[in-house]
Amino acid sequence: MKTDRPGSDYRSFDLPKADPTLCRDACMAEAPCLAFTFVNPGVQGPSARCWLKNRVPDPVASDCCASGVKPQPQVSASAAGVEAGVDRPGMDYRNFDLSAPDPGLCRDACAMDAKCAAFAFVKAGVQGPKPRCWLKERIPAPVKSECCSSGVAPTFETGTDRGGGDIKDFDLLSADPGLCRKACAADASCAAYTYVNPGVQGPSARCWLKGEVPEPTPNECCVSGKRH
């Protein structure tokens, strides 16, 4: 409990009472939030304060604070490439009604659009009488939601590491596997890549570019892919 996670803040606010769970619940309710820090009353003002973070800073022992990291939902595929009961809000560039209540139609529309990195299918009756498909130019964080089914473009191998063959690695400005894919596409020597989630190899997401195509291994830390 006596932990601070300084930095990477995108929002802060006073709390009505000195209860760290209020800060935790605020983080759970916001898609950009990956971690939080609750600050005791009397430290940054008379009220307790909550700091929401869009990355996972390193923990630091501190009597002032209580911190935590948002657990990422364990997604289950109801069909190939579809995460049932999961929304991926934000980063949309196109949306449209679907002719049938089939998340696979949205997945296939994403697969056929070179700009699409991820998608979200919304059930009929939520945003109108028909089901709706949202195509996304980047990969938002997954959020549990009964309204939706989501997924990433087939070029992304979610939950997969491709260890070895590295030619370059670097931190990313945001937790978006699409940035790693774009870096690989822009580098003539890159044959494959692996994106590593924030908090695994440091507070930031990390991209590894590879000069060959290593064998894939299951690992929830990562998203990988081959250059196309």
Q: pTM surpassing 0.95?
A: no
**Homologous superfamily assigned to 3-69:** Hepatocyte Growth Factor (3.50.4.10)
> 133: number of CA atoms within 13 Å, CB side?
22
Provide the CATH number for the domain formed by 157-226 in this structure: 3.50.4.10
Residues of the chain with CATH 3.50.4.10: 3-69, 76-152, 157-226
Tens-place pLDDT, residues 194-223: 999 888 898 889 999 999 999 988 888 898
- Single-letter code of the amino acid located at 49: R
Tens-place pLDDT, residues 109-124: 887 676 788 899 999 9
Closest CA to 133 of 115, 151, 157, 156: 151
Provide the CATH number for the domain formed by 76-152 in this structure: 3.50.4.10
